């Protein structure tokens, strides 16, 4: 797409993961609450809903440490939809725990949702004439390339009380065929249950997608560059990861010191054998991209710089400082993706230590990068994240899921940073969040996105994730009374003033 073509559209939207939606069942889900959220975004004149990865979460509840790159999170399945579909009764929803309304208590939610999903699965199993029967079989056949391994992985994990696959008996951990055949026979009911949960997630998410299409709302998803070691991905595809003969990583992922962490970060994910992936035509990675893009319109490609070069840390190292840069697959992989997809609906998460080589890779494939305003005020007028230095082809954020809220950030930075911020935005301490949103929306960036916490002007108590903290993250939720018509009107005015309404909206003052 050329510069002239790009200049004709501008979009604005909100970052909110489905787990943060309001509702009575302890966690946001993809039922009626998601539909109401899409309707509210439409009222607000937004064209974008950005989410985090949708996969099933494990230790730490992080969507970036999922049991599968292909599966959906069963915790997002809507109990209301299960009742409407005859798989649960209203009485089954009781007793309803006293869930907090403004955060996710994952322990209680998991116990409650597990009971409901088990009941729903049993009802389906006992009803051979259920209307979903044929659709379920079609789904299982169409998704078999990943679903069979995932369902078996989760069934075996359940049999082993949830311990990582690396601690299973070697015959299962290393996928000896006799052991796998015995497990499939022994765990047939459990395997079918995990397949059915994935079908339910897919079926419910499809109604969310249909609602977004009806409202002309684009959903931006997220693909983490690395996957969890304790995942069906690594267990089923040892050949694509740098593992020893027992299945343990030999080196792990992370980043050197940067503005997120002065000592760097040791993420611990296994690294790819890009040589083997290349020999296979990158089929696993391309299938991963295709799967996510069947759920959303665009994807934020997490840690884009890792495709140019990634930070490799010896597995025995306690920290990240002893790592080294290793050349990634670069243009060869992105060209394969472009050939497979026909185009690249990708936003490059190009944060961190960015080199000219990373910029060149992004520009070669015409991918928009990211600008985060919270990083713009610790320097001077030359900082690339200040709006007057933007190029059009980018996505600007007030902050991301890894940042503090704008108010929390402002209250924690040094006086000189606060002073620069106030002078640049022409604001005072009280209206910092919306002044930051205005700076993003009024910029030349094609897309502007703000976390919902910033629209609500919340402080650090509403932060979604602390990258250096192992637990207590991903818990923040909206409450029903916060999605007000007044807030939608305020957001709509922002979109209208800065040309980010849909062309069909009557308030749009820009001829397109």
Catalytic positions: 302, 349, 402
User: Strand 251-255 vs strand 309-314: parallel, antiparallel, or unpaired?
Assistant: antiparallel
Task: For 84-108, give one letter per residue: b (16+ CB within 10 A) or e.
Answer: ebebbeeeebeeeeebeeebbbbee
DSSP H/E element including 304: none
> Which residues fall within 8 angstroms of residue 280, CB to CB, at 6 or more apart?
240
Tokens 């296979």 identify what position?
280
Contact (CB, 8 A) for 361 and 331: yes
- Order across the sheet with 447-451: list the strands: 346-348, 298-301, 218-223, 48-50, 11-15, 447-451, 394-397, 369-372
**Three-state secondary-structure class, residue 102:** coil
Query: DSSP character for 309?
Result: E
- Integer Cα distance of 16 and 453 in angstroms: 9
First to last CA, the chain: 17
Q: Which of 463, 447, 431, 451 is nearest to 499 (CA)?
A: 447
């Amino acid at each position: 797409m050329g510069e002239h073509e790009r200049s004709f559209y501008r979009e604005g939207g909100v970052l909110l993961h489905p787990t943060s939606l309001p509702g009575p069942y302890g966690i946001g889900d993809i039922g009626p609450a998601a539909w109401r959220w899409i309707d509210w975004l439409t009222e607000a004149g937004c064209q974008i809903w950005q989410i985090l990865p949708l996969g099933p979460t494990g230790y730490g509840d992080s969507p970036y440490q999922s049991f599968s790159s292909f599966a959906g999170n069963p915790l997002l399945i809507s109990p209301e939809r299960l009742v409407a579909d005859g798989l649960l009764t209203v009485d089954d929803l009781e007793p309803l725990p006293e869930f907090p309304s403004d955060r996710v208590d994952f322990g209680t939610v998991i116990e409650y949702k597990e009971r409901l999903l088990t009941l729903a699965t049993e009802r389906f199993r006992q009803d051979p004439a259920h209307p979903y029967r044929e659709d379920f079989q079609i789904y299982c056949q169409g998704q078999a390339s990943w679903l069979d391994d995932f369902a078996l992985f989760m069934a075996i994990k359940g049999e082993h009380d949830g311990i990582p696959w690396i601690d299973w008996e070697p015959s299962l951990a290393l996928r000896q065929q006799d052991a796998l055949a015995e497990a499939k026979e022994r765990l047939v009911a459990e395997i079918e249950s995990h397949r059915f949960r994935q079908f339910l997630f897919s079926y419910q998410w499809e109604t969310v997608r249909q609602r977004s299409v009806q409202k002309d709302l684009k959903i931006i998803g997220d693909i983490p560059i690395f996957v969890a070691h304790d995942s069906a991905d690594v267990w089923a595809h040892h050949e694509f990861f740098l593992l020893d003969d027992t299945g343990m990583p030999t080196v792990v992922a992370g980043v050197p010191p940067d503005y997120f962490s002065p000592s760097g970060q040791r993420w611990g994910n296994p690294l790819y054998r890009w040589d083997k992936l290349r020999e296979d035509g990158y089929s696993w990675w391309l299938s991963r991209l295709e799967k996510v893009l069947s759920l959303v319109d665009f994807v934020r490609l997490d840690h884009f710089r890792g495709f140019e070069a990634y930070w490799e840390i010896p597995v025995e190292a306690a920290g990240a400082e002893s790592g080294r840069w290793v050349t990634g697959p670069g243009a060869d992989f992105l060209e394969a993706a472009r050939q497979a997809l026909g185009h690249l609906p990708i936003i490059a998460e190009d944060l961190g230590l960015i080199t000219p080589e990373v910029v060149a890779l992004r520009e070669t494939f015409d991918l928009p990068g990211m600008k985060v305003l919270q990083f713009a005020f610790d320097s001077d007028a030359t900082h690339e994240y200040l709006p007057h230095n933007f190029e059009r082809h980018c996505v600007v954020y007030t902050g991301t899921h890894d940042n503090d809220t704008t108010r929390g950030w402002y209250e924690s930075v040094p006086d000189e940073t606060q002073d620069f911020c106030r002078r640049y935005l022409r604001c005072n301490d009280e209206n910092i969040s919306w002044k930051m949103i205005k700076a993003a929306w009024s910029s030349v960036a094609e897309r502007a996105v703000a976390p919902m916490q910033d629209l609500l002007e919340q402080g650090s108590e509403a932060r979604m994730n602390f990258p250096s903290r192992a637990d207590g993250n991903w818990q923040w939720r909206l409450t029903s009374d916060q999605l007000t018509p007044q807030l939608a009107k305020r957001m709509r005015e922002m979109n209208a003033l800065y040309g980010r309404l849909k062309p069909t909206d009557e308030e749009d003052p820009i001829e397109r």
